[in-house]
Amino acid sequence: MMLTDEQLAELARLVADTAAHEIDCDEMLARAAAFVEAVAAGPDDLPETLCVVAQHLRVCSECREEIDLLLEAHAPENGPDAS
């Protein structure tokens, strides 16, 4: 069976969608440090590898708590020098 150009395009779209929307908790944790740094530096320009982390956080409250803790620890205004 041969795939038509149209079918290939559709497949590519489906694969891209899946990649963009689904990582598991282990992958989230593997990217957590990079994600926290990127968010702290300016969340407007997240690379796609980190957008999927954000996507995971929307559906996984456990990981969201984890990231919240990391962000809190990372935020300069919560440092020991804050008055």
List residues binding Zn ion (CB under 5 A). 25, 60, 63
Q: Positive or negative CA dihedral for 71, 74, 77, 81?
A: positive
Taking the CA atoms of the chain, what radius of gyration do you get in angstroms?
17
> Would you say 12 or 34 has its CB closer to Zn ion?
34
CB of 77 vs Zn ion, minimal distance in Å: 27
The alpha-helical segments, DSSP class H, found in 22-60 are: 25-41, 48-59
> Would you say 60 or 71 has its CB closer to Zn ion?
60
> Would you say 39 or 63 has its CB closer to Zn ion?
63
